[in-house]
Structure 1
Amino acid sequence: MPTHETIEPPDTADAADTADRPDAPDHLTAEQDHLSASRSALHRMRERTESLDAQGGNAVSTEYLKATLHHRALSLADDPNTPLFFGRLDYAAGAGPTEEPSAGRAERFYIGRRHVTDDAGDPMVVDWRAGVSRPFYRATRAEPMGVELRRRFGFGHGDLTAYEDEHLTDATEAGEVSQILETEIERPRVGPMRDIVATIQPEQDDIVRADLARTVCVQGAPGTGKTAVGLHRAAFLLYAHRDQLRRQGVLVVGPNDSFLRYIGDVLPALGEIEARQSTVPELVGRIRIRGEDPAGVATLKGDARMAEVLRRAVWAHLCQPTQGLLVPRGARRFRVPTYEVSEILDGIRARGVRYGAGRAILPQRLAHSVLLRMEADGDSPDDRVQNSVARSRPVRAYVDEIWPAVDPARLVFRLLSEPEFLAEHAEGLLDAREQEMLLWPTPPRTVGSTRWSLADAVLVDEVADLMDRTPSIGHVVLDEAQDLSPMQLRAVGRRCSTGSATVLGDLAQATTPWATRDWAEALAHLGKPDAHVEELTKGFRVPADVIAYAARLLPLIAPSLTAPSSVRRTRGDLVISHTKSVVEAAVEGAREALERPGSVGLIVPDERVRPFRTALDKAGVPYAVLGEEGDVDARLDVVPASLAKGLEFDHVVLAEPAQIVAAEHDEVTGLRRLYVCLTRAVTSLRVLHAEPLPEPLAQAPALGEAAGVW
């Protein structure tokens, strides 16, 4: 079994066995010395970077070099509460990845969050993303990959407290689950999400190290680490393709600002500060979003058919010429006949260009035809003359007449306010009832006074892309993708049209009326139909009893998915209580949870936040309300059910499941919302209800589930 040795008892002190290892303190002291030396080396690396004087060939180059050095210094920052390395690989003599077999030298590598070298340039810590580090995650006794010994370290407040050894070449040693690994997975979490570099599993590692050119879709059950996997893939790609992605960019798209704040520290902790984070409303924020559509209307506006309606409406502005172009140049006049203008228009359209690009090309093509007539008349015009003709008033006026400018917001405004305009372009796509649904009951007077919705903003963004191509980013990480409409997926997809994506989600957690029901369809809307779909079902964070209880809902909300399972040996605490006063019981449950280590989430129906706040204030329990400004240091978060997705808490108190279900537009969506809320717990879940529970949850506990209080 793995050897577990300690200086002071870690969280899993009962796993330590040092009675037959009197030399344990010396080993640990040596490893602690290496940790201290590595931190000193990292500090020197940062000092050297900060001491460099940026001098480029010109002012622009100098500023660019300064920015590069600044980002380099930031990436070398050290958090003393975070272990600089978490593992070690010892290779057999001649089997290491950098030595020739004939050298006969054994090699040793410490695996950590970033690369650290000594003054001679030799590695003291190897970045977890480097190829030499992969055996730490993939080596087994059946396939040791040249590794003789793998060592995992336990840490407390940045100091080394324990280690475990796995002798991968010893066939007689029985393999057991690493207790340090289990401790790290189950460690209470307070504050933002942490990285998982020390606990990446082989199936997760395959996704993390997938090639940049490959789009990967991860269907992940709660607690399988899909969000962390997506973020770590972004960190890996930034490491492996830094020059390319520094130019093209990496974008992380999350469901809301609270979620982005929760995951915001993961990439910086890994030394990556160049990835941008955004939500869909921010991506499509060409107009101010101030309104909200009814569910049915928002679903229709998010339908993929709207893309064709918009395409028709844009290109309908293009007119066939009724007369030729006449351009005066001095005492002479040059005429481009109508038929030739039509041929020019057809040639531009045949190139498949965007509407705006075609409008920009047309003046030059017309000017070229004028130049040909000037040459035939004995002149020798050059490019400057052609540009002058293209910018001349007659040409600009002619272009405005046959290829007029289109404003995206005004176009969408017309579609949603003018029945005849909508009917003309929706014919054969939307029936009369759907067209009536799209039209505003009381059209705004002006574009500026319109209370645009998110669905409207997505339509405007689609039109803007029909006008001019949206710049593509090198890689996009899209989380909670199952909740996006086809039009929202198109909006994200055009931002990685020439790049790749990591798509993360869970069909069982789809809670919007327009949510996707099938990954193949969603990926087609995203523009990545050939993406590889990977399913993660092994839960590392959600306790077994909790995941089993929540999985009772799967036959109703996602019957095609494999039921998730927990790999944790601790089953967790699950208590279901019927009470007359859910508010009072929730306050008491939150108070009890705060006596235990870790974060606490009180998940409540959206419309019931106020009474819970009042009760907590009266009881003197400090808290913050998710989505609002408040006490950032409070260990207790009051979480509206609609904001719970993507988050996790060590202890969850869930109030009134029936009301959470009833708040959605249909029962299946409500049950999906409840499934999300039930699976936010890492250590304990207390469900409180006065109203009857949904039928699958009202049954007696199955064998293996905690009895709790029913």
Structure 2
Amino acid sequence: MPNDKASAAALRRALDIIRDSKGTGTLIFGRADTPEDRLYIGRQRVYDEGRDLKVISWHAPAAAPFYTATVDDPRGLVLKRTIIEEERRVVRLIDEIVAAASSDAPDLTPSTFGDALLAELERSRDGAMRDVIATIQAEQYRIIRSAAEGTVVVQGGPGTGKTVVGLHRAAWLAYNVESLRRTGMLVVAPTPNLLTYISAVLPLLGVSDVMQIHLPALYGGSAVVGRVERWESDRTKGDASMAEVLRRALSDRVDRDPGDVTFTVGADRITIPAASMRDVVADALSRDLAHNDVRDVLRQTLAQVAHSSYLAHQREMGRPAVATASTIRRLNTITNLLDRVWPRFTPEELLRGLYGTQSWLVSACDGVLTVDQRAALYRAPENALSEERWSVADIFCLDELSHLLDGPPVSYGHIVVDEAQDLSPMQARSLSRRCPTGSFTLLGDLAQATGPWVRDTWDELLLHVAPPSHIVEELSIGYRVPATTLDLAARQLGYIAPGLTAPRSIRPGRNDPSVRHAPAEVLGSRLAGLVGSLLADSLSTAVVVDDTDFDRWDAELTTLDVPHGDGRAGDFSSACTLVPASLAKGLEFDAVVLVEPAKIVESSPHGRRVLYVAMTRCTHELHVLHTLPLPSGFSDLIDHPADDDATSVVDGPGWDPVPDAAPPAPAPDSDDALRSRVMSDLGRLSPHDLTLVAALVERLATPTERLDHP
């Protein structure tokens, strides 16, 4: 169990959800037949009384055909059977004959994928991620079995299963790579909320010796996270140049020329010449040790130099030498000298002092940061160190200082990092220190980057976290998010990541996404009614709101008697969970109700990316509820002022909306009339909106980059 309270609490919440949910984990879930043999596949090996192997474990090499057989390449199988269990009872057997001719599946359609997978995808979510060992797909299995050496980057859009691939890879490596059982493995989630959601997977797979923590818990010091920084400060503190600033700041505290040093032993006054002191400090600076470790060496050296000076003085005076080197080492004069020449710090003490001292900042930042960047670092210290509250970006500055002051942290043989696209260079350095071999699995989606570090490629991040040996694997098939929802969300890619292609979803979903308008005074009651209908259909539901509105909607849902979990605190045990948009990443619910998407877009420099993430958290249904005008990307959805009007997004060219109880459609405008109306509408837009419209028109006018259906 992790030492930090947040990670430990997240693991307990996840296990509670698993205990309260259906099923206990299938022991045997698969059977693979060849013309000559039959294999049963399960979570672990099973022997009979005579020690004959009856069930092979899913991560054994012999189980590979069960996962890799395709229509084009059945891998010698004539039958693949998946066993579906609930509450320790077999409820369904699904037989898939995988030796069919490839001509039976010419394109990517739901029939390309096994019935077992489709049945699993229709299962309702219950607040914790599950293992998928019975339904791992071939492209996922190939990544899971990648060699442990070097770094594997798994780039995957919403619903492609990148997180579950990373967790199953950790279990596979733990089983198959003996050296990792000695050196240890680590799984890192960005937040305690996401850790709660994912942390039950490895225990379900029988893996108990892989540490799981959230990212800030990498630093084991006393700092308490409780400060929200301005974007400029986060960006400055997360940049790799901050490592040089911190190194300089520590170096500035060393007195390289302390001058003559005089101390007394009894009635004698002894002087260590300035030249000798410079040599002592220079020797300390040459040591390849952490700062605080050098201080211990320096104490010994100073004591020896002082004792030699004492002996020389006594000989010169014709007196016997009484004091030993040990006696001199314990003198207050030596301790005070050591504090002046080579002071001891905790990371918190040093960083607090640096942030609050302008002259120190100027010296440490000179030639490294701009004046504005340096200004973003300054803050007045609290009255006491214990009262300081630190931002997440501060935590990784503290971790860098901990390395400089006290040496390398505990290391691991392999580290799996979820949502790696949001890592700052300083966070990447922190991870790299904990895995010197560079054996990483980095999971992420560049389009879902929502922090200060938005990237077009993985190259820059890999410079900080991994050696040159790395591969980038892309998951192209969406298993979780319904096709119509994913296509609607993919409109945002034109604004946030035009170089990326949205995954192709294999699922139609229960219903098309819907958009409902309501006046502000009834928005809450409309939300309560919609949530009630979703819960009545036994759909786990997330109400996703802008962060600034979280407290308001928490209070309003309580007033309207809508039971809900607090997603901000990581409580996913209720059928309905209120989730701030910034924390929705990585989560998964049957249904998502997105409230006021325009506020989400406007809330941060990367609000449109946050919206893209929020729209893709559902496995069955997406509903949009709003009073404010919809942001671009929804522009062709009709916005009606009437309370009960709703727009249902349908699959087809142009995404023509179908309003409930719509009046007869008027005759289409002529080209001239339509052009005139569009020009009139453009005249009412703000400069910012005009820029967005211009970008959209340019993309729509380019046939190879059309955002709608072909």
TM-score strictly above 0.5: yes
Residues of 1 paired with 2:472 and 2:308: CA distance?
55
Match of 1:138 among 68, 73, 93: 68
Deviations 1:150-202 (A, max 9, x none): 22233344432333444556759956532222111232212311111112112
What is the correspondence of 1:470-481 to structure 2 with a 5 Å cutoff?
Answer: 470-481=409-420
Which residue in the other structure is 1:28 paired with?
Answer: none
Q: Per-residue deviation at 1:230? A: 1.0
2:373 aligned with 1:434, yes or no?
A: yes
Partner of 2:681: none
Residue 595 of structure 1 pairs with residue 540 of structure 2: no
In the alignment, the residues of structure 1 paired with residue 414 and residue 257 of structure 2 have an alpha-carbon distance, to the nearest angstrom, of 43
How many residue pairs align between the two structures? 606
Note if contact 1:545-1:571 (Cα within 8 Å) is conserved in structure 2.
Answer: no
1:83-130 CA distances to partner (integer Å, 9 max, x unpaired)?
21221122343xxxxxxxxxxxx3x22111222222222222211111
Q: Residue 223 of structure 1 aligns to a residue in which SS? A: coil
Structure 1 contact 320–342 (Cα < 8 Å) conserved: yes
Aligned to 1:89: 32
Matched with 2:84 is 154
1:3 is aligned to: none
* Corresponding position of 1:535: 474
Task: Please state if 1:292 is matched with 2:235.
Answer: no
Matched, 1:697 2:637: no
SS in 2 for 1:698: coil
Q: Is the 8 A contact 1:128 1:197 kept in 2?
A: yes
Q: 1:474 to 1:367 in 2, by over 3 A?
A: farther
Q: How does 1:470-549 map to 2 (within 5 A)?
A: 470-498=409-437, 500-549=439-488
Aligned-partner residue type, residue 39 of structure 2 = F
Give the secondary-structure state (helix, strand or coil) at the position aligned to 2:387: coil
SS of residue paired to 1:120: coil
- Distance verdict in 2 for CA 1:404–1:238, change over 3 Å: same
Deviation of residue 449 (structure 1)? 3.3
**1-structure distance, mates of 2:556, 2:344:** 58
Partner of 2:11: none
- In 1, are the aligned partners of 2:65 and 2:75 still within 8 Å (CA)? yes
| 3-state SS in 1 of match to 2:85 | strand
Per-residue CA deviation, residues 198-257 of structure 1 (Å, 9 max, x unaligned), is: 121122112211222222111210000111111111111111235x43443322221222
1:45-444 pair list within 5 angstroms: 81-93=24-36, 106=37, 108-140=38-70, 142-167=72-97, 174=104, 176-242=112-178, 244-286=179-221, 287-320=223-256, 349=285, 352-362=288-298, 393=331, 400=339, 402-440=341-379, 442-444=380-382
Report if aligned partners of 1:472, 1:499 keep a CA contact under 8 Å in 2: no
Q: Aligned partners of 1:206 and 1:326: how far apart in 2?
A: 70
C-alpha contact (below 8 Å) 1:583/1:611 kept by paired residues: no
Deviation at 1:643, TM superposition (A): 1.8
- Taking structure 1 as reference, are residues 125 and 372 closer, same or farther at Cα in structure 2, changes over 3 Å only? farther
By how many angstroms is 1:267 displaced? 0.7
CA distance in 2, matches of 1:591, 1:91: 50
The alpha-carbon distance between structure 1 residues 321 and 513, as it changes in their structure 2 partners (threshold 3 A), is closer
Question: 1: distance between equivalents of 2:54 and 2:607?
Answer: 52
Question: Residue 546 of structure 1 contacts residue 572 of structure 1 at CA under 8 Å; is this kept in 2?
Answer: no
SS in 2 for 1:134: helix
> Does structure 2 conserve the Cα–Cα contact (< 8 Å) formed by 1:485 and 1:516?
no
C-alpha deviation, 1:371, in angstroms: 12
Choose the corresponding residue for 1:450, options 361, 371, 388: 388
Correspondences of 1:33-44 after superposition (within 5 Å): none
Q: 1:90 to 1:338 in 2, by over 3 A?
A: farther
Q: Does 1:624 align with 2:561?
A: no
Q: Please name the residue that 2:5 is paired with.
A: none
- Encode CA deviations 1:578-621: one digit per residue, 9 max, x unaligned: 22233222211111111223311111222333454455445433
Q: Which ranges of structure 2 fall in alignment gaps of 5 or more residues?
A: 1-20, 106-111, 311-323, 638-648, 661-710
SS state at 1:603 partner: strand
Relative to structure 1, is the Cα distance of residues 139 and 608 closer, same or farther in structure 2, using a 3 angstrom cutoff? same
TM-score, normalised by the number of residues in structure 2: 0.76
**1:465-488 superposed Cα distances (whole Å, 9 cap, x missing partner):** 112112212222211122232222
Q: Sort the Cα spacing of 1:708 and 1:314 in 2 relative to 1 into closer, same or farther, 3 A.
A: farther
Query: Is contact 1:304-1:487 (8 Å) kept?
Result: yes
Match of 1:641 in 2: 581
2:672 is aligned with 1:672 = no
Partners of 1:85 and 1:340 in 2: how far apart?
A: 74
Give the superposition deviation at 1:627: 2.7
- TM-score, structure 1 length as denominator? 0.76
Contact 2:232 2:373 in 1 (8 A): no
Is the alpha carbon distance of 1:561 and 1:457 closer, same or farther for their aligned partners in structure 2, counting shifts above 3 Å?
A: same
Which residue identity is paired with 1:567?
A: I
What is the deviation of 1:428? 0.5
The DSSP-based 3-state class of the residue aligned with 1:697 is: coil
Tell me the secondary structure at the aligned position of residue 311 of structure 1.
helix
Query: Structure 2 CA distance, aligned partners of 1:629 and 1:154?
Result: 30
Aligned counterpart, 2:402 = 464
Cα contact 1:623–1:638 (8 A) shared by 2 = yes
Change (3 A) 1:321 1:432: closer
Does the 8 Å CA contact 1:324/1:336 hold for their aligned counterparts? yes
CA 1:435–1:617 in 2, change beyond 3 Å: closer, same or farther?
closer
1:169 and 1:281 map into 2 onto residues whose CA distance is 49
Provide the C-alpha distance between the structure 2 equivalents of 1:628 and 1:169, rounded to a whole number of angstroms.
49
Other structure's SS at 1:492 match: helix
On the 8 A contact 2:525/2:560 being kept in 1, the answer is: no
Q: Higher mean Cα deviation, 338-347 or 135-144?
A: 338-347
Identity level (%): 38
Match of 2:319 in 1: none
Query: In 2, Cα distance between the equivalents of 1:368 and 1:145?
Result: 74
Question: d(CA) in 2 for partners of 1:319 and 1:608?
Answer: 52
Deviation at 1:344, TM superposition (A): 7.0
State the shift of 1:514 in Å: 3.9
Matched AA of 1:537:
S
The offset of 1:400, in angstroms, is 4.9
Which residue number corresponds to residue 598 of structure 2? 658
After superposition, the Cα gap between the structure-2 partners of 1:218 and 1:617, relative to the gap in structure 1 and judged at 3 Å, is same
Higher mean displacement: 615-624 or 208-217: 615-624
Contact kept? 1:575, 1:708, Cα under 8 Å: no
- Indicate if the aligned counterparts of 1:657 and 1:694 stay in contact, CA closer than 8 A: yes
Q: Structure 1 residues 588, 171: closer, same or farther in 2, change over 3 A?
A: closer
Is the Cα contact below 8 Å between 1:574 and 1:706 reproduced in 2? Answer: no
Deviation at 1:398, TM superposition (A): 6.2
Residues 610, 444 of structure 1: alpha-carbon distance in 2 compared, 3 angstrom cutoff: closer
C-alpha separation in 2, matches of 1:290 and 1:161:
49
The amino acid across from 1:193 in the alignment is M
One-letter code aligned to 1:115: R
